[in-house]
Every structure is written in structure tokens, then in C-alpha cells.
Amino acid sequence: MGEQGPAANYYSSEGKADAWSGGARLIEITTPLGNYKVWTKRVGNNPTLKVLLLHGGPGATHEYFEAFDSFLPASGIEYYYYDQLGSGNSDKPTDTSLWNLPRFVEEVEQVRLALGLHTDNFCLLGQSWGGILAIEYALKYQQHLKALVISNMMASIPAYNDYAHRVLMPAMDQRRLSAVKTLEAAGNTSDPSYMDLLIPMHYEKHVLRRPYAEWPEPVLRSFAHINAELYTLMQGPSELGASGRLADWDRFEDLKRILVPSLVIAARYDTMNPTYMEAMSKEFPKGQYLYAPEGSHLAMYDDQQRYFAGLQAFLHGVA
């Protein structure tokens, strides 16, 4: 919806994992398999407006969110980078039983508690897979939320797959698409030709609309650090839909239960159906819709001014 880099060491001079160091902090979380540490970093200071960023993947990193540095600090919004367990600078356990939605939800709740976020200041923003996680968190813990932002993620994986098959794939070069499907069927998605085929027909059209050679460095860095095992297990091996543990996830009918102010951000060229996402915004009792007509899955880069103007207006509106 979317390899591993070395984890940075953010221990204080006293060796306490919870100590802040240059805004960064390792937070200890509890899981059914023991305790691990996840990495966070605070930017800015606003007691009434704090945004926790949930990155995509699963298994990507906070790094592609660095576009936020050019906009949110100047408007006085405090935000937190956060690498989910298994990603980026956080611990990377190898037991795959940890990779399930309920456990990830509990991880976010533990991070919230450690950061001191609460209903008077806590805004949760999830992009792509992070949007799935944000919806699930809100359905269980909305009493702690001030506001919710779902960026570039539909509320149903079956609907997402349907859009890919009904709209996106028919518009692709069918010979290239056939070659992609042949590689996927043979389990050869690590073959270099797989990405050679996908970059011009998928990534440059629906993920970030500019030549791949010109993609921003934070995006390339984040993609290079993806935990491929975690990503494939939950999302599936194909880049043209989902077939992993998330394949049957569908929460569209439950959106009406989320009562906090909620913004849905969609983009014209995204892998996610913008018409569906507009309908999502109407399901939320306090929903709003932001449309990026020049954007794709990473509209924070290819329709940047509209994305951040709309996001900041929403956040200041709930402050």
C-alpha cells in the first residue's frame, strides 16, 4: 500500500531508554512475546495540538513523512515521528505472530500513554496502512482522541482490490501487466524485471507522479528501509492489490461509530478510489473531505500545497 537499516541508539547518558535526546525517544512496549522498544521523535511544541504520524507499509518507516517539516512547524503544530514495531529505528522481532492488527492497536495505545497524549490534544494521522491502523485505533480508543486523519487509504481492502482490477489495471499496458502477473504467480517479485515493469506503469502514475529518478530522497530512503517480510506477510507480494493477512479487512460500515472530527484525504491518481473515500468522509458523523486533484498515493509530495493547506486548516479547526 506501500532493506532494513540499522537502528539508531537514542539512549541517554544514563542509559535510560525513555530519555529524550534531540527530540527522539525509545519507548518500551509490552507484547505477548515480551517487551520491545519503538522509536519516536517529537517536532515542535504545542500543548493543545499534537499529531502522531502512523506510516504506511506495513513495514515502511517514518522517513517519508519528512515533508511535514516544511509545513507544520511554521504553523505551530507539534507532531511525532514514530516507527512501528518491526520498522525503521524500532526493534525488529522475527516472530510473525506479532504482525496482526489488534496487537498493533495496543502498541499505538502504549505509545500514546508514554507520550502523554490525551483527548485535549491528541490527533492521529494514518497514511496508507497507517490509515487502517488509525481506523482500528479509533474504533477501540476514540475516547482519547481529539481528531482523526485518514490519508490515502480506503476503509475496505476488498473495495481497494476491486478498484485496482476494475479501474487501474485496465488502463495499464496489458502486455506489461501480463508480465507482472506472470512474475507474481511464479513468486518472482524479487526479480529486478518486476520493478522495471512496475515503476513506469504503476509507481510513477499512482504512487508519486514524477520520474522515479526525481523522487524525493526521504521517500527513496523510506522505501529502501522497508521490512519486506512484514510487508509481504500482511499486504501480500503483489503491488497491485492486497492478498496477505489484511485481505478481508473492511470497516466501512463501522465508520459511523467514530464520533471525533475526522478528515479523509484522497487524490485523483491514487491507488485508492477517491469517490469511495469521499463516501467514507460522509460516513463519519463529523467527517470532512480533502481532495488532491494532482496527487497520487503520496499526495503530500505531488500535490503538496493543497495537501498541507487542507491538513493544517483541519488541524487548526479542531485546536
pLDDT in tens, 261-310: 999 999 999 999 999 999 999 999 999 999 999 999 999 999 999 999 99
Cell of 268: 485523483
- 2 has pLDDT over 80: no
pLDDT in the model for residue 21: 60
Q: What is the mean predicted confidence (pLDDT) over 159-164?
A: 98
Q: What confidence tier does 1 reach under pLDDT thresholds 50, 70, 90?
A: low
- Distance (Å, whole) CA 40 – CA 55: 12
pLDDT in the model for residue 180: 94
pTM value is 0.93
Full set of structural domains in the chain with CATH: 24-158+246-318 (3.40.50.1820)
pLDDT in the model for residue 23: 87
pLDDT in the model for residue 20: 52
pLDDT in the model for residue 280: 98
- 127 has pLDDT over 50: yes
pLDDT in the model for residue 166: 97
- 190 has pLDDT over 90: no
- 17 has pLDDT over 80: no
**Which percentage of the chain shows pLDDT scores above 70?**
93
Please choose, from the candidates 311, 249, 251, 316, the residue with its C-alpha nearest in 3D space to the C-alpha of residue 284: 251
Q: Which residues are catalytic?
A: 128, 270, 297
Q: What is the mean predicted confidence (pLDDT) over 106-122?
A: 98
Q: What type of residue sits at position 196?
A: D
Q: What is the mean predicted confidence (pLDDT) over 197-211?
A: 97
Task: Say if residues 101 and 134 touch (Cβ distance below 8 Å).
Answer: no
Task: Say if residues 207 and 298 touch (Cβ distance below 8 Å).
Answer: yes
